[in-house]
A and B are shown apart, each in its own frame.
Chain A
Amino acid sequence: MDNSAIEIKNLNVGYNTENSFSLIIKNFNLSIKKGEIFGIAGESGSGKSTLAQAIYRSVKYPGEIDSGEIIFKDKDILKMEANDLRKIRVTLFSFIPQAAMNALNPVRKIRYQFYDLLLAHGILPEKSNDKIFSVLKMVRLNESVLDNFPHELSGGMRQRTVIAMSLLLNPELVILDEPTTGLDVLVEHEILKDLKNIQRKYGITMIFITHDLAILYEISDRIAMIYAGEIVELGPRDDMLEHSTHPYNFLLLKNIPRIGVKMNNPIKLKGNPSNFNENFPGCQFYERCPFSKAVCSEKHPDLKEYSNEHYYRCILFPEWKQGV
């Protein structure tokens, strides 16, 4: 596939614990197209943040990438020399980790944090002021923020600063992990709109990771739902919304309160997220699924195609959907 921006093949990522190594991301395959906003949704413990870190190869101990390939520009990121990897980070693809806005250096003015980033890639900052101004303009920040310390800026402005930094060297791919969590509703909405505008204008590929399904559906072109480290449903946003094929996606959408929509006792998910058993032979979603049958606990379902580019991991589809 030529138009894929990044391709993940058979990725396994796990965590070291006192007496075992347990997998969080299992045999993960995904191909992200150039110029799309790809949304990854999952609840706490589903492995979505670990996945983001793995793509940027920044999984930290006790997490560890076990095996797999991540092909970006015909090269396997996981096999790259550290030095080569450093060179392509930020210049070709960048990563905004969770709560990055709180990770700005508190004792350094924003200007010098931009300069540090440039110097790290061998660019003389003095000649790049125009570049800095232009990315600040992209995220609708005033140039005066350069002379502020991080604590003098509001949460939204800091998040915008972090986004500007990630865009500074014109990357083709940006990974955003929960970019708006902890921000005010109004600010969140503005930033999402700006992100979408930037993405459309410059054709950047974005991987957008969040637990908030509503905003994910608002912004994404394609969406993958992750449960227990596996894709349970993957497809174009509209298809996922109108023709849900996996109970998880279906029920989460039904369970989101919306203004002006009365909920008449919707079917609810059972149990709690993040109680996964690695060695369970059947469907990982079995215990939480209100439609599950005995057969679900016996065989692990494979990812099947529903329609063009729309995949699901459920044995009972379309059976369960007739019951709703």
Chain B
Amino acid sequence: MNELIRTENLTKEFETRTGFTGISKIKALDNVNISLFPNEIVGIVGASGSGKSTLAKILVFLYKSTSGKIYFKDEDITKIHGKSLKKYRKEIQMIFQDPYASLDPYHSIEWHIKRPLLTSHYSGNIDDRIDELMNMVKLTPPEYYKNKFPHQVSGGQRQRVYIARVLALNPQILIADEPVSMLDVSLRIDVLDLLSKIKNELGIGIIYITHDLNTVSMVTDRIYVLHNGEVVEDGYTNTILTSPHDGYTKALIEAASDPYKRI
């Protein structure tokens, strides 16, 4: 099977102004090559400042890359814009880190799931589809949640609402940027399970971005370890977590929290 998405030497430089005229460049991503297949969860692991969020934003075209190429199903989409960008965005969606910020506080939960159906000109019965999506993310019964506003439900439920919102577009790729780091411990596992479930049932490819190796070990099939914008190690999750080669990966594993460990 072919890759859903593949990057080739993706590089991103940010320009920052220093003083009046000076411009200094910071490399956020340095020749990054990653790939994602259908029906798999790939982890991008790194500490803050490693460039993992930048990568996510480039893949959904919120940022433009400085150099390198992005392929979507073997088609070069590095320079798409306008109509074709809109079409591409339907296929790749992003789940934000903070479910408190990613939902519009002035609109009901139903609105959030209905809008993508309307913008993508969904042909079937919209109300049925909303119910179906809400059942899929376990917001049941749908009637109970539909007319609630984001501040009336918990963080975990907000993240579910958001997942239902993006699934409404029937995307082939989901990019989840630290989707559980803002949630309470008892709610995290449910959201992670949900990600595994949509991967299995819908065959979606998911890029899971995080700093937390514990959750990575739970949901991902393969990982890329990102350090200062460079991929320092990649491979199957189990292999890397049991026998890491890179010093940085080792440090991350050593720092991963575990209640059975003692500091």
Contacts and interface: CB of A to CB of B under 8 A. Distances in A.
Task: Determine direct contact between A and B, CB below 8 Å.
Answer: yes
Interface of A: 43-44, 184-189, 192-193, 196, 211-219, 241, 251-253, 255-261, 263, 266, 268-269, 272-275, 288
B71 to A, nearest CB: 31
Contacts of B211: 184-185
B259 A43 contact: no
B131 interface: no
B263 interface: yes
A213 B185 contact: yes
B263 A256 contact: no
Contacts of B262: 218
B241 A260 contact: yes
B187 A272 contact: yes
14 contacts: A189-B263, A193-B263, A212-B185, A218-B257, A218-B258, A218-B262, A251-B186, A255-B186, A255-B189, A257-B192, A258-B214, A259-B213, A260-B217, A268-B189
A257 B217 contact: yes
B242 interface: yes
Contacts of A263: 189, 218
Interface stretch (B35-43, B80-88, B247-255): B247-255
Interface of B: 47-49, 153-157, 184-190, 192, 211-215, 217-218, 241-242, 251-263
B145 to A, nearest CB: 12
A188 B214 contact: no
B185 A260 contact: no
The B contact surface, by secondary structure, is: helix
A210 B49 CA distance: 24
Given A189-B254, A257-B214, A214 B259 contact: yes
Contacts of B254: 189
Contacts of B251: 186
A242 to B, nearest CB: 10
A214 B258 contact: yes
A252 B255 CA distance: 20
Contact of A43 (B48, B185, B257): B185
Interface-centre pick from B49, B188, B258 (highest chain A CB count, 10 A) = B258
B185 A255 contact: yes
Most B CB within 10 A of own CB, among A213, A217, A258: A258
Contacts of A196: 263
Given A184-B48, A186-B252, A259-B213, A252 B185 contact: yes
A44 B183 CA distance: 9
Contacts of A252: 185-186
B48 A273 contact: no
Nearest to A217: B259
Nearest to B48: A184
B229 to A, nearest CB: 15
Q: Which 9 A-B pairs have the closest CB atoms?
A: A217-B259, A189-B255, A272-B154, A214-B257, A257-B218, A43-B184, A257-B214, A269-B186, A184-B47
Nearest to A255: B189
